[in-house]
Amino acid sequence: MVRRICPYCRCENSCGREAFVSRPSPDESLSPTDVYNACLELYGHDRTVPDVDSWDLAPDLLRLGYLNSMPSLVDVEHAQELIREVER
């Protein structure tokens, strides 16, 4: 039996997100720091970044040109959490 790992959250086929083939796979060469810097830069223009669902924010970072490849959801969620902590 071959197990596929979800490219978004690293689960083993249990979340269902891996079925969405329309979304690009995350690029493993992006560091969490790159993702955080992109989220922080976007946050400077849009204060809703910490409140947006990471599932929507990840492709927006790519589409808006803040990143050159798709970030992982885990990295986006961590970046959002850091921004929330700084907001407090």
Distance CA 10, CA 84 (A): 24
Helix (H) or strand (E) holding 86: helix 73-87
* 25-40 mean pLDDT: 84
**Cα dist. 17→4, 14, 30, 36, 40 in Å?**
12, 8, 20, 23, 26
Give the span between the Cα atoms of 37 and 84, in whole angstroms.
14
Q: What is the mean pLDDT of the chain?
A: 80
Q: Given a cut of 90, is residue 16 above it in pLDDT?
A: no
Lowest mean pLDDT among 29-33, 35-39, 43-47, 52-56: 29-33
Q: Read off the pLDDT of each residue in 47-73 and give the average, rounded to a whole number.
A: 93
